[in-house]
């Protein structure tokens, strides 16, 4: 499961500024925890496929988390990780409440508009100051859709589908 995205290198010893994509960053990014290198689909990938990363230190830093792993020891190597996703074993994560979903689970979900049917698929999720925003790939582009009760009708986990309310102009690109 995706738990973070490396934003940039921080300092000279190879720490990262990581965007947390989990509601439990204090559990995931703690000293002694193990995470993995992955891609935005939550799969082990790339030249770092399967790379085990042992967290030496993790703490909040502004809106990000400052994370240092044993396998990255200098700024140049840390900078090469910019944009990469960090994964955790789902067995290490607490179960979400009935009215919650992990952000990583939204990526790849089908998107429907109530009464109109399928319109696209979720390509990415952004944690903006005003709340979550999903990027929906449609036949005509990739509009951004705010995750608000006025827009999201329901999430159907069994069908792996997000159902939007029919709002004029919502998916215009």
pLDDT digits (tens, 9 = 90+) for 151-167: 999 998 889 999 999 88
Specify the pLDDT at position 47.
54
pLDDT tens digit sequence for 56-68: 999 999 989 999 9
Does residue 42 contact residue 107 with C-beta atoms inside 8 Å?
A: yes
Specify the pLDDT at position 131.
83
Domains and their CATH numbers in the chain: 2-89 (2.40.30.60), 103-164 (2.30.30.240)
Specify the pLDDT at position 24.
80
Regarding pTM above 0.85, the answer is no
User: Which of 115, 114, 126 has its CA nearest to residue 162?
Assistant: 114
pLDDT tens digit sequence for 81-140: 999 999 888 776 667 777 777 777 888 999 999 988 999 999 988 877 888 899 999 999
pLDDT tens digit sequence for 34-55: 999 888 777 776 555 457 899 9
Specify the pLDDT at position 49.
44
pLDDT tens digit sequence for 4-25: 999 999 998 999 999 998 878 8
The percent of residues in the chain predicted with pLDDT above 90, rounded, is 50
User: Which of 48, 45, 66 has its CA nearest to residue 57?
Assistant: 66
Contact residues for 104 (Cβ-Cβ < 8 A; gap 6+): 1, 2, 3, 21, 42
pLDDT range class, residue 146, cuts 50, 70, 90: very high
């Amino acid at each position: 499961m995706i738990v973070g995205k490396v934003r940039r290198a921080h300092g000279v010893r190879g720490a990262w500024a990581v965007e947390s994509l989990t509601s439990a960053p204090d559990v995931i990014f703690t000293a002694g925890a193990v995470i993995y290198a992955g891609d935005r689909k939550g799969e082990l990938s790339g030249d770092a496929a399967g790379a085990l990363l042992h967290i030496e230190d993790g703490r909040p830093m502004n809106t990000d988390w400052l994370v240092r792993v044993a396998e990255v020891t200098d700024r140049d190597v840390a900078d090469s990780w910019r944009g990469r996703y960090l994964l955790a074993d789902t067995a290490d994560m607490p179960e979400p409440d009935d009215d919650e979903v992990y952000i990583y689970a939204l990526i790849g979900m089908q998107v429907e508009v109530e009464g109109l049917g399928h319109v696209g698929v979720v390509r990415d999720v952004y944690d903006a100051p005003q709340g979550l925003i999903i990027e929906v790939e449609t036949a005509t582009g990739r509009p951004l859709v705010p995750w608000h009760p006025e827009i999201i009708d329901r999430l159907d986990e069994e069908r792996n589908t997000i159902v939007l309310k029919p709002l004029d102009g919502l998916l215009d690109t």
